[in-house]
Amino acid sequence: MSNKPKVSGFMNYLRKERIPTIFCAGCGNGTVINTFFNAMEMAELSLDNISMVSGIGCSSRIPGYIKCDSLHTTHGRPIAFATGVKLGNPDMDVVVFTGDGDAAAIGGNHLIHAARRNLDLTVICVNNSIYGMTGGQISPTSPKGSFASTTPYGALEAPFDLAKLVSGAGATYVSRWTTVHPLPLSNAIKKGLQNKGFSFIEVISQCPTYFGRKNRMRSAVEMMKYMKTHSVVKKKAKKMSEEELEGKIILGDFVNRNWPEFSEMLCEQVNEKSEKGLIDAIKSAYKTDL
């Protein structure tokens, strides 16, 4: 395999004193960490220039294990904080780790607005269809009929299709993969990191502890096998009927387009209006002579 990941070096990217992680055995978060490092290397980016922002939930704990500047914020709001980080220093590569509850329920508004602005952020949403940190409650992406501690008789609500939602809101790169597809997922994250604009990578992941246990899939392996057999790449999905696609996870790039990016336009405007330009504002909190 030509693009074989050099996983053994990934340990150097971690805050070693903090591992093992708090994640349950078989949780998909660790696989997402590996694919991120693989993508970062492929995109030739460095943790020296990456700021990670996350909200609240299991996947939002990811940046805490990575040796980079990391902001572990409030529930649902990481994209708002990330907006400030990016505009405060547009030279930084800003990555957001979030989950389905964080990004799609409490933080849904920030998600669609950052996508609308096409702000240069790479948002990696680990979607495990459940609230893991609080003990297995239903989420806005849980499939209809699925069980959770707050839907003991089955969920009645229709789930969000996050990739479609964010595409519609104006993101310029949107892709969906699962934890069973680490190499295409790495490639999607790489494309997201390289895209100058709002990138959204939805990772369908397994929560064996809560989603699995409540929905008759007892192990991470069983859940991953389910994801593998129930996913269809976009190209193939196009040829399938709605009935055939029922219950299937559609994978691939949903959007990949070149639209003007917000921070770049804002910088241009500031440079036009001011003598000093935005570059003078960078790290200006440390200056007394302005």
Partner 1 sequence: MIKIDQNLCKGCDICTEFCRKNVYEPSKTLNRKGVYLPVPVNIEECKKCNLCAILCPDLAITVEEDHE
Partner 2 sequence: MNITRFFIQGNEACARGAIKAGCKFFAGYPITPSTEVAEDAAIILPKEGGTFIQMEDEISALGAVIGAAWAGVKGMTATSGPGFSLMQEHIGYAAMTETPLVIVDVQRGSPSTAQPTMASQSDMMQARWGSHGDYEIIALVPSSVQECFDFTVEAFNLAEKYRVPVIVLSDEIIGHMREKINIPDKVEIIARKMPEEGPETFLPYKAEPDGVSPMPPFGAGYKIHVTGLTHDERGYPDASNPETHTKLVKRLCNKILNHRGELTRVKELYTEDADIIVVSYGAPSRSAITAVKNAREKGIKAGHIKLEIVWPFPEEIIRSAAQQASDIIVAEMNLGQMVYEVERVVKSDAEVSLLPKIGGQIHRPEEFLEMIYKCQK
Can you tell me which of 15, 28, 237, 261 binds partner 1, judged by CB under 8 A?
28
Cβ atoms of residues 95 and 62 within 8 Å? no
46 in Cβ contact with 97 (< 8 Å): no
Q: Give the whole-angstrom CA distance, residue 64 versus residue 52.
A: 9
Considering only 14-22, 39-47, 238-246, 269-277, which stretch makes contact with partner 1 by CB under 8 A? Answer: 14-22
Q: What is the spatial distance between Cα 245 and Cα 77, in angstroms, rounded to a whole number?
A: 33
153: phi then psi, degrees, rounded to nearest 5: -110, 15
Span from 3-11, 47-55, 79-87, 97-105 in contact with partner 1 (CB under 8 A): 3-11
Residue length of the chain: 290
Binding residues with partner 2: total (CB under 8 A): 54
CB of 76 to partner 2, least distance (A): 8
Among 199, 184, 176, smallest CA distance to 258 is for 199
Q: Which string of x and - marks every residue 199-228 that binds partner 1 (by CB under 8 A)?
A: ---------x----------xxx--xx---
Q: Which positions from 69 to 108 touch partner 2 by CB under 8 A, shown as an x/- string?
A: xxxxxx--x-xxxxxxxxxxx-xx----------------
| CB closer to partner 1, 134 vs 219 | 219
Question: CB of residue 148 vs partner 2: minimum separation in angstroms?
Answer: 24
What is the token pair recorded at 207?
């929560």
E strands, the chain, where?
50-54, 69-72, 93-99, 122-127, 130-131, 137-138, 173-178, 199-204, 231-233, 249-256
Angle at which helix 78-88 crosses helix 108-117, to 10 degrees, equals: 30
Choose among partner 2, partner 1, none what residue 156 binds, the Cβ cut-off being 5 to 8 Å by kind.
Answer: none
Q: What is the DSSP letter of 148?
A: B
7 is a site residue for partner 1 (CB under 8 A): yes
DSSP state of 23: P
With CB under 5 to 8 Å by kind, the binding choice for 139 among partner 2, partner 1, none is none
Pattern of binders to partner 1 over 161-190, x per CB under 8 A? ------------------xx-xx--x----
Q: Of the ranges 25-33, 131-139, 170-178, 247-255, which one interacts with partner 1 (CB under 8 A)?
A: 25-33
Please report how close the Cβ of residue 243 comes to partner 2 at its closest, in angstroms.
Answer: 38
Give the Cα separation of 21 and 212 in Å (integer): 20
Q: Which is nearer to partner 1, 62 or 281 (CB)?
A: 62
The DSSP bridge pattern shows strands 173-178 and 249-256 to be: antiparallel
- Residue 73 binding result from partner 2, partner 1, none, given CB thresholds of 5 to 8 Å by partner type: partner 2
The binder of 11, among partner 1, partner 2, none, by C-beta within 5 to 8 A per type, is: partner 1
Report how far residue 290's alpha carbon sits from residue 285's, in angstroms, rounded to the nearest whole number: 10
- CA-to-CA distance for 285 and 261, rounded, in angstroms? 26
d(CA 176, CA 161): 10
Please give the residue ranges that form the binding site for partner 1 (CB under 8 A).
Answer: 1, 4-8, 10-11, 14, 19-21, 23-31, 33-35, 38, 179-180, 182-183, 186, 208, 219-221, 224-225
